[in-house]
Amino acid sequence: MNQGKYVFSQLSAFLPQRVFDGIVKKYDGDKYVKHFSCWNQLLCMLFGQLTNRDSLRDLIITLEAHSKKSYHLGLGKSVTRSNLAKANENRDSKIFEEFAYHLIGIARNKRANEDFEVKGKI
């Protein structure tokens, strides 16, 4: 039986959610949203990237297969193909672009300060 967090939730814990919430507020990303927030959308799309999904339908099938674990993965409870498709279509992509640039900036600062070091051949 699982005693700790899932690997995906451990990885998503490294994402600065307060910074993301500030960006969402700047672009009014969660305006008129009740259940499927921008954070849930980000986590679903990250899950799709990390699991190498080919399409939105493939991603939804995978999420439905893990529906009992969706709360513990941090994905939310109402992840459907229509919700995700409408969110991808209607929400401003600048939210995710600005957040990606913020994460890239963090990675560059860590690399410049030699705080981030990878051992072995890459």
pLDDT score for 2: 58
pLDDT score for 116: 59
How many CB atoms lie under 10 A from the CB of residue 98?
18
Predicted structure pTM score: 0.82
pLDDT score for 80: 81
- C-alpha dist (Å) from residue 111 to 12, 101, 104, 122: 21, 15, 10, 15
**pLDDT less than 70: residues of the chain:** 1-3, 78, 113-122
pLDDT score for 114: 65
The domain spans of the chain are 7-111
**Cα–Cα distance for residue pair 13/20, rounded to 1 Å:** 13
Query: Which residue is associated with the tokens 């072995």?
Result: 120
**Cα–Cα distance for residue pair 43/47, rounded to 1 Å:** 6
pLDDT score for 79: 81
pLDDT score for 122: 53
pLDDT score for 22: 95
